[in-house]
Amino acid sequence: MGKKKKELGFDSDGAKKVMRKRDYMADMSGQLALGLMANVVGQLTYFYTDKVGLAVGGVGIMMAIAKVIDALTDIWFGNIIEHSKGGNSKFYKWMFRMMIPAAVITFLMFTVPKGQTIGMIYVLVTNVLLTAVIYTMIATPFGAVMVVRTNSQVERSNMGIFRAVGNYGAGMIIAIIIIPVTNMLGGTQSAWIKFGAILALIVLLLLAICYNNGRKAKYSEDTETLNEVEEEEAVPFKDAIKMLFGNKYWVIVLLFNIITNVTNAIAAASGTYYCKWIFGNDNLVAITGTAGLAATLLGFVLAKPIISKLGIKKTVYFGVLGQAITCAARCVVPTNFMAFTVTSLIGGLVQIPLMCLYGVLLAMAVDYNEWKYDKKLVAISSGAIGFGSKVGGGLGSIILSAFLAIGAYDATLEVATTSMRYAIYGFSNYLPLVMNLLMFFVFTKFDLEEKLPKMRAEVEARRTGQNN
């Protein structure tokens, strides 16, 4: 006889625990696969221009068109998934359907044909297929998995931490290995194609691991009953959107995603401008980057105890106010490199626990949907949040460009003009300060954490009444 599995018990809110270590690791493998797909797209501009020989301007236009289409598909695919059948298992079934296409398109990203016109068309089509179709049709239901997999806030927080590690790890892997490995293979387009083949197999393996675990997942003590509840009647798209905007907590999470993605998009680029034009040496980015990496690793170590100690809402406060304080310090001493490095380190550290809560906050908003409407609207809620994240990233790029334009930015100068310096101060220090204070204000209205246990009890009572 096999060894009987130890019961996991209940969390402090009385929700049954269902996640074991292997479940967290398998779930993280799904996020790692998605992270590899997303981060390799960030390296493609260099590949298209320097290895394939496509014109920079044309590549930029094709990538921008693909981004617009990508942002528009999240809600649409969320609605498609919402109307599909299969109870809780349907979210993993979409991963199963898309994992081979995901591997194939990952490989095809590098097999760009020679010639400007055909090459540009190929770039547009493959980027749309990867980001707007296949990635979205995996990521949208995968984001919903956290809602249906467990009702425990503790386990949802743990899943958020593991997913954040997987996503960040994917970014680090691509950033560190792609150039050295492709150079080792010859540095040509052929070398990148070989790298793409290896990456495609890794993506396929990771998605297969996640799916294999998910298809056998135990969602609650009474799986059969839960699946009956989850197979809810589909809601028309227009009515579903109206319901979402009638859920103030979902609106708060949407705003939170938009604002954080605006600040993240700006932060990703601001360090290089700051080091080059304020400190006079863009090689200093290596030092600030190393400090940021150390802070990130420490942040992941501390994320679980911080979230456990503070809870969801106070962890958000910890992140946004901590970041606001570091930005305020840089406003006071904007030209001190040591102050810039230390504040960047602290700012990165306090942001990591907050980053681990994205999925948890969405899950809480979906729980409120069920209490208010008797409909979870899981997939379309996740898809609409994905739309908000992509809009935020796009807005961040636009805002950054606007600051540079207002500051009359001129890359050919040896020394920054006064207007250039103030533009850099604006998007690096003052804007993040304002945005983080705005996020704090928005989250003062998020009082769902303390209400959820009672709401879940009411939902369970309604279910019991319907089944009797």
Q: Write the single-letter amino acid at 277.
A: W
* Distance separating alpha carbons of residues 39 and 51, to the nearest angstrom: 18
Q: Which stretches of the chain score pLDDT less than 70?
A: 1-5, 12-13, 86-88, 219-233, 384, 466-468
**Cβ partners under 8 Å of residue 301, min gap 6:** none
- Cα distances (angstroms) measured from residue 12 to each of 304, 315, 364: 15, 18, 16
Looking at the chain, the number of H-run helices and the number of E-run strands are 18, 0
- The sign of the dihedral angle between the CA atoms of 227, 232, 238, 242 is negative
Query: Residue 8: how many CB atoms within 10 A of its CB?
Result: 15
Q: Are 378 and 82 in contact (CB under 8 A)?
A: yes
User: For residue 212, what pLDDT is reported?
Assistant: 92
User: For residue 4, what pLDDT is reported?
Assistant: 59
- Cα distances (angstroms) measured from residue 41 to each of 48, 109, 155, 171, 216: 11, 9, 31, 11, 32
Q: Which two tokens stand for residue 450?
A: 């303390």
User: For residue 225, what pLDDT is reported?
Assistant: 46
User: For residue 86, what pLDDT is reported?
Assistant: 67
Q: Which of 22, 74, 383 is nearest to 210 (CA)?
A: 22
Strand partners, 16: 10
Please give the model's pTM, rounded to 2 decimal places: 0.75
* Distance separating alpha carbons of residues 357 and 315, to the nearest angstrom: 9
Reported as a single tens digit per residue, the pLDDT across 47-70 is 888 889 888 788 888 888 888 888
* Distance separating alpha carbons of residues 84 and 93, to the nearest angstrom: 10
- Tell me which fold the domain 21-231 belongs to: Growth Hormone; Chain: A; (1.20.1250)
Q: Which of 435, 387, 401, 427 is nearest to 260 (CA)?
A: 435
Here the contacts of 108-116 (C-beta below 8 Å, separation 24 or greater) are 108/196, 109/40, 109/41, 109/44, 109/196, 110/47, 110/189, 110/192, 110/193, 110/195, 110/196, 111/193, 111/196, 112/48, 112/52, 112/54, 112/189, 114/52, 114/53, 116/54, 116/55, 116/58
Q: Are 451 and 13 in contact (CB under 8 A)?
A: no
266: enclosing H helix or E strand: helix 248-273
Per-domain boundaries in the chain: 21-231, 244-462
Q: Which of 263, 269, 271 is nearest to 287 (CA)?
A: 271
- Cα distances (angstroms) measured from residue 352 to each of 306, 316, 322: 10, 10, 11
* Distance separating alpha carbons of residues 191 and 198, to the nearest angstrom: 11
> CA torsion 321→322→326→329, rounded to 10°?
60
Q: Are 383 and 140 in contact (CB under 8 A)?
A: yes
* Distance separating alpha carbons of residues 383 and 254, to the nearest angstrom: 11
Strand partners, 10: 16
User: For residue 467, what pLDDT is reported?
Assistant: 58
* Distance separating alpha carbons of residues 54 and 244, to the nearest angstrom: 43
* Distance separating alpha carbons of residues 426 and 432, to the nearest angstrom: 9
Fold agreement between 21-231 and 244-462: yes
What's the CATH number for 244-462?
A: 1.20.1250.20
Q: DSSP character for 280?
A: S
213: enclosing H helix or E strand: helix 189-215
* Distance separating alpha carbons of residues 268 and 165, to the nearest angstrom: 18
**Cβ partners under 8 Å of residue 239, min gap 6:** none
* Distance separating alpha carbons of residues 268 and 52, to the nearest angstrom: 26
Q: Which of 53, 71, 186, 171 is nearest to 123 (CA)?
A: 53
